[in-house]
Amino acid sequence: MDLALALVEEDEDKELAMSIARKLVLFYKRPGGQKQFSEFIDCIMQNLTADLSIEKLADRVNMSPRNFTRLF
């Protein structure tokens, strides 16, 4: 979401990005340099040469491939 808001600001303007953040109840800019945390994304980034098929990713988070696909 941080990236999406930054792209909206870059392509359009700050006011639109702030409006979207308010509607989605998100920080426009995270306080204190806080980064967006995603253990799942970190795992993927550290294992780019591994099998990252839907089946393997779903198994890693204890989901069925069908449910995983629906969520992501």
pLDDT at residue 45 in the model: 82
Which pLDDT does position 36 carry in this prediction? Answer: 57
One DSSP character per residue, 3-68 reads HHHHHHHHHS-HHHHHHHHHHTT--SS-GGGPPPP-HHHHHHHHTTTS---HHHHHHHTT--HHHH
62 torsion bin: left (phi>0), alpha (psi -120 to 50), beta (else): left
Say what the pTM is. 0.46
What is the per-residue pLDDT across 47-61, written as a single tens digit (0 to 9) for each?
A: 899 999 999 988 988
Residues of the chain predicted below pLDDT 50: none
Per-residue pLDDT at 54: 92
Domain ranges for the chain:
1-30, 37-72
Q: What is the pLDDT of residue 4?
A: 85
